[in-house]
Amino acid sequence: MRSITVIYLMVLGMMIGIELAAGAFVAPVIFFPQTLLGEGILSHFQSGILMTEIFLRMNTLLLFVGLFSVLFEIIAWVSKANHKDRSALLLSLTAVVLAFLFIYYYTPFIQEAQAKGALQTATDAFRSMHKQSEWVMKALMMVQIGLFLRRGIVLGK
């Protein structure tokens, strides 16, 4: 079980790193290309299309990690070799719910709005949903960090 826990921690760490990179490094470059390339390169709408494509590709991994996390924690819960960690199980369930919200609720809404054109993405409803999706992703990352730390501490014992 210990080697699977190490793999689990690596997968969680990788997902956290990807989420941080997408939000902290990729998004500012995509949404503000004029700082590097000058004015008139990409509109804000076009930048949003590119960022959505990045998140679509990330969503596949996000789904895998969420399901792997829940499966790992359920197996750890029923395993006689591992102590029952209610917090880790609840964190993994929270993470998978947040991942499903991001993947199956917020992402399709954003895609549909983008498909209707730039005017649709300039509405208050779109801005509100986009801001909510950002908060869901931040909450998901915090839950994953909590899960990573929790499992890392258990592994160290």
**DSSP structure string for the chain:** -HHHHHHHHHHHHHHHHHHHIIIIIIHHHHH-THHHH-TTS--HHHHHHHHHHHHHHHHHHHHHHHHHHHHHHHHHHH-SSS---HHHHHHHHHHHHHHHHIIIIIHHHHHHHHHH-TTGGGSHHHHHHHHHHHHHHHHHHHHHHHHHHHHHHHHH-
Model-level pTM greater than 0.85? yes
Per-residue pLDDT for 156 more than 70? Answer: no
Summarize pLDDT for 79-118 with one digit per residue, the tens: 865 567 889 999 999 999 999 999 999 999 999 999 999 9
Q: What pLDDT is attached to residue 113?
A: 96
Mean residue pLDDT across the chain:
92
Summarize pLDDT for 63-82 with one digit per residue, the tens: 999 999 999 999 988 886 55
Give the pLDDT mean for 51-74: 95
